[in-house]
């Protein structure tokens, strides 16, 4: 077990539904600390770059259109096994297949508008965190710091 960081995004459907607080609360109550948070309205170029691995998939264009349709919340979550833990809290990509009590089961609209993104491996988490956050914007909680 190791402390990890992972990238989380509350997608436009989650922001639209007014459940930013509920989603962040699920992370905090499950041991994941938001150590960077920023609201953004992604450009097509930014969303295409972020999802470049899916470029050949039939849903790519619709996914980019959706992800640029409104503001998103970009976050870095830190905690024990944060990458896998976040995926558990999120639930399966298709909300119809997501487990009870997961964010996608409780809030997602469909397989595209599925409310949250989470990095799928520690390697991709590093790439995705640095895609949106320079290190100076990431603030691990350090209660011993004096100033
Ligand atoms: P993940 O978000 O659970 O990691 P991925 O397979 O990486 O799922 O897909 C990225 C995103 O693309 C999904 O979260 C969803 O928004 C969208 N997506 C995935 N599969 C489909 C599909 O079959 N139809 C429409 N959109 C899809
Ligand atoms: Mg993925």
Q: What is the pTM of this model?
A: 0.97
Residue 66 CA: which ligand 1 atom is closest?
A: 16
Q: For 66-123, what is the HEC assignment?
A: HHCCCCEEEEEEEEECHHHHHHHHHCCCCHHHCCCCCHHHHHCCCCCCCCEEECCCHH
Res 88: pLDDT: 98
In this structure, what DSSP letter does residue 131 have? H
pLDDT at 9 over 90: yes
CB 114 less than 6 A from any atom of ligand 1:
yes
The answer to whether 117 is a known catalytic residue is yes
Ligand 1 pocket check for 98: Cβ under 6 Å: no
The whole-angstrom separation of Cα 17 and Cα 108 is 10
Pocket probe for ligand 1: among 48, 111, 118, the residue whose CB has the most ligand atoms within 8 Å is 111
Asked whether the predicted pLDDT for residue 147 surpasses 70, the reply is no
**Lowest-confidence segment of 1-5, 38-42, 119-123, 143-147 by average pLDDT:** 143-147
Is the pLDDT assigned to residue 123 strictly greater than 70? yes
Give the separation between CA 128 and CA 118, rounded to whole angstroms: 9
């Amino acid at each position: 077990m190791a402390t990890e960081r992972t990238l989380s995004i509350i997608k436009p459907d989650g922001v639209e539904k007014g459940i930013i607080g509920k989603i962040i609360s699920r992370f905090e109550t499950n041991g994941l600390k938001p150590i960077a948070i920023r609201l953004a309205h992604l450009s097509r170029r930014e969303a295409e770059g972020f999802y470049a691995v899916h470029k050949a998939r039939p849903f790519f264009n619709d996914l980019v259109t959706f992800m640029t349709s409104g503001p998103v919340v970009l976050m870095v979550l830190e905690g024990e096994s944060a990458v896998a833990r976040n995926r558990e809290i999120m639930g399966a990509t298709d909300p119809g297949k997501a487990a009870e009590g997961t964010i996608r089961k409780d809030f997602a609209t469909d397989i595209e508008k599925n409310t949250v993104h989470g990095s799928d491996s520690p390697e991709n988490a590093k790439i995705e965190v640095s895609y949106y956050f320079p290190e100076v914007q990431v603030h691990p909680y350090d209660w011993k710091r004096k100033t």
